[in-house]
Amino acid sequence: MSQIEGKVAVITGASSGIGAAIARKLSEAGANVVITARRRERLQELASGLPGRSAILDADISLPDTPGRLLSIAQEQFGRADILVNNAGIIAAGCIDSVDLDALGQMTRVNFDAVVRASYLFARVFKAQGSGAIINVSSIGAYLISRRMGAYGALKHALEAFSSSLRIELAGTGVKVGTVAPGTTRTEIFDHIQAPGTAAAMPDGTPLEPTDVAAAVLFMIEQPERANIARLAMFSATDAH
């Protein structure tokens, strides 16, 4: 039996890709899941195929009240919350002359501001109950410097620093905090950074699959109480970085 049997997990950005794979993995391991994203139809489709109990919230994670609504749903539907996986993320990239500054602002709200708000809200509850886990999905972009992706990489680097600070602050409370930083993963996110009329901007090489990242998240959560994996970086076996 999995260590998360009967636990309640909240997963953001769960309508596709890594988030959907994490929801399936945790549900298969026996967790009750609360899944959120903006596309209600996708969430309903995912929930209908999960083996365990689930609840959905179609909402914009960048809105200030969304994290609180997620916590309330977990507590009302399942009586508690035990795991938070901050997975929602978007990419806004471009050269200095053409990058969409409004898109960069929205990326900041989704990729960092929402994670900070959700992490603090759930951390307060987890600390009070003496147990819990917060896993923030980062990126190897946090450790790499590349042109056109400066803001994205900077936000992921900030996410790593914030997660480390939160982990240190919660040490000894029974609450674990860690990040999983995947490399190029086959998801829809690349569909949104392609140039008009071109194929999706998937980098060369053999990408990771969303299920690979989901397995890593479950591995981190299932560690014994004495162990906290602070950072797990995942590279494709063909990645030369």
| Chain position carrying tokens 């309330």 | 72
Q: Which domain holds residue 12?
A: 8-234
CATH for 210: 3.40.50.720
- pLDDT tier, 194 (very low <50, low <70, confident <90, very high otherwise): very low
**Catalytic residues, which ones?**
152
Q: What is the pLDDT of residues 22-37, one digit of tens each?
A: 999 999 999 999 999 9
Tell which residue, 148, 34, 149, has the closest CA to residue 87: 34
Whole-number average pLDDT of the chain: 92
- pLDDT tier, 69 (very low <50, low <70, confident <90, very high otherwise): very high
| 46 in any annotated domain | yes
| 90 in any annotated domain | yes
Letter string b/e over residues 201-231, b meaning 16 or more CB atoms within 10 A of that residue's CB: eeeeeebbbbbbbbebbbebbeeeeeebbeb
pLDDT for residue 191 is more than 80: no
3-state secondary structure labels for all residues of the chain = CCCCCCCEEEEECCCCHHHHHHHHHHHHCCCEEEEEECCHHHHHHHHHCCCCCEEEEECCCCCCCHHHHHHHHHHHHHCCCCEEEECCCCCCCCCCCCCCHHHHHHHHHHHHHHHHHHHHHHHHHHHHHCCEEEEEECCHHHCCCCCCCHHHHHHHHHHHHHHHHHHHHCCCCCEEEEEEEECCECCHHHHHCCCCCCCCCCCCCCCECHHHHHHHHHHHHCCCCCCCCCEEEECCCCCCC
For 206, the token pair is 């053999």
**86 vs 236, which has greater pLDDT?**
86
Q: What percent of the chain stands above pLDDT 90?
A: 81
- pLDDT tier, 199 (very low <50, low <70, confident <90, very high otherwise): very low
**191 vs 58, which has greater pLDDT?**
58
Q: What is the pLDDT of residues 137-163, one digit of tens each?
A: 999 888 888 888 899 999 999 999 999
| 1 in any annotated domain | no
pTM above 0.85, yes or no: yes
| 203 in any annotated domain | yes
| 191 in any annotated domain | yes
pLDDT for residue 1 is more than 80: no
- Cβ contact 78:31 at 8 Å: no
Whole-number Å distance between alpha carbons of 114 and 124? 16
Q: What is the pLDDT of residues 102-139, one digit of tens each?
A: 999 999 999 999 999 999 999 999 999 999 999 999 99
| 241 in any annotated domain | no
Q: What's the one-letter identity of residue 43?
A: L
Q: Work out the average pLDDT over 73-88.
A: 98
| 28 in any annotated domain | yes
Residue 201's pLDDT is: 54
Task: Count how many domains the chain has.
Answer: 1
| 3 in any annotated domain | no
